[in-house]
Structure 1
Amino acid sequence: MNEKLQNIFQQQTIMIIDGSMSTALEQRGADLNDRLWTARVLAEKPDLIRQVHKAYFQAGADCGITASYQATIPGLIDAGYTEAQAEDILARSVRLFCEARAEWWAEEGQADRRPWPLCLAAVGPYGAYLADGSEYRGNYGISDETLQSFHRRRMEVLWEAGPDLLLIETVPSLREAMLCADLAEELGADYWISFSCRDQAHINEGDLIEECARKLSIGHPRLQMLGVNCTDPRYITGLIHELRKGTDLPIAVYPNSGDRYDPTTKTWKRLGTEKAFGTFALSYMKAGATAVGGCCTTVEPHIRQITEARRKFLNAE
């Protein structure tokens, strides 16, 4: 296991992942009505990104996800940046995280004896680049060569920037997950893979998540964790049980707050759930998740709820 990841598990037992970058940026006045989404803020208002990272550390996060989910080299070039500028924006996402981490650590983290947070460099799926909701469907209709070319250089740039792990997230497709895993292995990068799921057993393209876990657990020695994100919180407990059937790797989950995304309007519809987010989080820990956080529409109060859920979980053991 990655030594830094292992240290957090030894100190905290359950690792707390941060929350949504997009929702937190919107709360700070950012306009995300753009094909680049959070990558536009990364390029033009980097201090807002730094603020969000620090806020999540203050809320209790033991690790955080860089603002590179929507930052792709083709997408940035399409938006008018040069290739060199696009690569610098990608690397900037890691630098901003590291700057925020160092500031928070000096201000309070070290004194509070908190673990040094892990930097997870976000690698979003090809569907995020399309900006049409394809990360919730998969079935892109492109060749393996095109998909590999899309991911390779971005993963290289992010890894060279110095994160602790690559986080290949919101993946709707086993094919894409396997391809990205192979690229990470070639890079010598430690990584984890997180799927987006349609129900309690299937990823969004339709494969059983148990089978995805089984296939990825073979021949990928640098794979550190498997999990689920950007998925209805009501599905997560079942998905943890299915993942556990296929792997002995640690399981990480960070669902949405319960709202549903409309790819046509590019908005989230508030549905509401019968449980508080912290109650969901506690159930995930009881089901066997070793890392818990939040994805779209979750913010600092959700992470504080997870922190409290961990306290309850550990006190009950």
Structure 2
Amino acid sequence: MKAPLLELLREKKLLVLDGAMATELEKAGVDTANELWSATALLDAPQKITNVHQNYFRAGADIAITNTYQATKQAFMKQGMSAAKSSELIKQAVFCAQKARNEYSENKNLLLAGSIGPYGAFLADGSEYTGNYNLSIKVFQDFHYPRMKALVEAGVDLFAIETQPNFIELEAITELLERKFPEMTAWIALSIKDSRHLCDGTSLEKVVKYLEQFENISAIGVNCTALENITPALKEIQPLTTKPLVVYPNNGDIYDPISKKWEINPQAKTFSDLVPTWISAGAKIIGGCCRTTPENIREITNVVTQSI
């Protein structure tokens, strides 16, 4: 089993992730205000996805996360597509990222991480911020398997299992990863209620100690949370794991999951202000989630470059 994330981390010491996909697609005219969210662009605007990846690589990202957070067999079939077409669309997301990487990979080692969003993202009601859904291990695995299979077949380097709010779902995915995709590795990024708890109330101590036992989990951290939550979460997680820490918060704006709209927060700090503190607290892989832009990733790249 190769661990491409760890190999690249040994080479570079600190890594930069990309930023938001939906925000950039919206700027390019894609209507994401629906249950498919950014995955809508897979239907009729794949070149716009490639363009977003290109802009993040230009900004200094070492890793692109595929536009598959909301792209699942079940979501596409709900829109009237076949299982085969659903798989095709998921693979298309990988091909978009590969096309972008091909422009830059001659002189730089770049990775593609296949995004695995939580079941809560499929519900499209903000459940990735609560974890308030209860399914069996088998149902979770039946949900996640088709997307994971399509991503592997399309050629991702690793999985980004992200915005995970539910401990039972995490158990299901990690077991699925180990059993069905033993050649693959992943990072796990948690959706947290506060610096000590997963959104469903499970203690981070319990979650991290559970994840620590899996060799094919290359990194652990948090994403899709407010900037100010990152340092406390890092201080909680860092003593509990030997794995590298990954963080990619939102840009500071405030999200209303009911209206699906964001409000600008003029009081938010900047990545330039905070990334040095995150590095001091143990972060090794740093990027942006909702509402972040290539300019934010450039900020992170500048700090990381100065820190190595």
TM-score of the pair, normalised by structure 2: 0.95
1:77 is displaced (CA, Å) by 0.5
The secondary structure found in structure 2 opposite 1:207 is coil
Q: Between Structure 1 and Structure 2, how many residues are aligned?
A: 306
Unaligned runs of 5+ in 2: none
1:274 is displaced (CA, Å) by 4.7
Structure 1 residues 11-67: Cα deviation after superposition (integer angstroms, max 9, x where no partner): 321100000001111122211111111111022110000000010000000001000
The secondary structure found in structure 2 opposite 1:49 is helix
User: How do 1:101-250 residues align onto structure 2 when only pairs under 5 Å count?
Assistant: 101-105=101-105, 110=107, 115-186=108-179, 187-188=181-182, 189-218=184-213, 220-250=214-244
Farther off after superposition, 270-279 or 299-308:
270-279
The answer on whether the counterparts of 1:2 and 1:224 sit within 8 Å (CA) in structure 2 is: no
1:3 is displaced (CA, Å) by 4.4
Q: Distance in 2 between matches of 1:185 and 1:278?
A: 37
| Pairing partner for 1:309 from 296, 303, 306 | 303
Q: Distance in 2 between matches of 1:275 and 1:266?
A: 23
Shift of the 126–3 alpha-carbon distance from structure 1 to 2, 3 Å rule, reads closer
Partner of 2:59: 59
Structure 1 outlier segments of 4+, above 6 Å? none
The answer on whether the counterparts of 2:165 and 2:192 sit within 8 Å (CA) in structure 1 is: yes
Q: Distance in 2 between matches of 1:150 and 1:7?
A: 30
The answer on whether the counterparts of 2:21 and 2:38 sit within 8 Å (CA) in structure 1 is: yes
Give yes or no for the alignment of 1:258 onto 2:273: no
Farther off after superposition, 237-246 or 49-58:
237-246
The secondary structure found in structure 2 opposite 1:104 is coil
The secondary structure found in structure 1 opposite 2:34 is coil
The secondary structure found in structure 2 opposite 1:105 is coil
Structure 1 residues 228-285: Cα deviation after superposition (integer angstroms, max 9, x where no partner): 0001110101111111122110110000011222111011122234522221122111
1:145 is displaced (CA, Å) by 2.3
Q: Distance in 1 between matches of 2:7 and 2:256?
A: 39
1:191 is displaced (CA, Å) by 1.0
Farther off after superposition, 258-267 or 127-136:
258-267
Q: Distance in 2 between matches of 1:44 and 1:185?
A: 34
The secondary structure found in structure 2 opposite 1:141 is coil
Q: How much identity, in percent, do the aligned residues show?
A: 37
Q: Distance in 1 between matches of 2:48 and 2:273?
A: 30
Farther off after superposition, 274-283 or 164-173:
274-283
Partner of 2:21: 21
Partner of 1:292: 286
The answer on whether the counterparts of 1:282 and 1:306 sit within 8 Å (CA) in structure 2 is: no
The secondary structure found in structure 1 opposite 2:262 is strand
Structure 1 residues 65-97: Cα deviation after superposition (integer angstroms, max 9, x where no partner): 000000010100111211110000011111111
Q: Distance in 2 between matches of 1:43 and 1:202?
A: 37
Q: Distance in 1 between matches of 2:233 and 2:109?
A: 29
Unaligned runs of 5+ in 1: none
Shift of the 35–274 alpha-carbon distance from structure 1 to 2, 3 Å rule, reads closer
The secondary structure found in structure 2 opposite 1:64 is strand
User: How do 1:73-92 residues align onto structure 2 when only pairs under 5 Å count?
Assistant: 73-92=73-92
Q: Distance in 2 between matches of 1:121 and 1:235?
A: 25
Q: Distance in 1 between matches of 2:175 and 2:153?
A: 17
TM-score of the pair, normalised by structure 1: 0.93
The answer on whether the counterparts of 1:286 and 1:313 sit within 8 Å (CA) in structure 2 is: no
Structure 1 residues 110-152: Cα deviation after superposition (integer angstroms, max 9, x where no partner): 2xxxx32110000000000000000000121323222221112
Q: Distance in 1 between matches of 2:3 and 2:173?
A: 22
Shift of the 183–272 alpha-carbon distance from structure 1 to 2, 3 Å rule, reads farther
Structure 1 residues 131-178: Cα deviation after superposition (integer angstroms, max 9, x where no partner): 000000012132322222111222112122211101110000121112
What amino acid does structure 2 have at the position aligned with 1:204?
C
Q: Distance in 1 between matches of 2:186 and 2:6?
A: 13
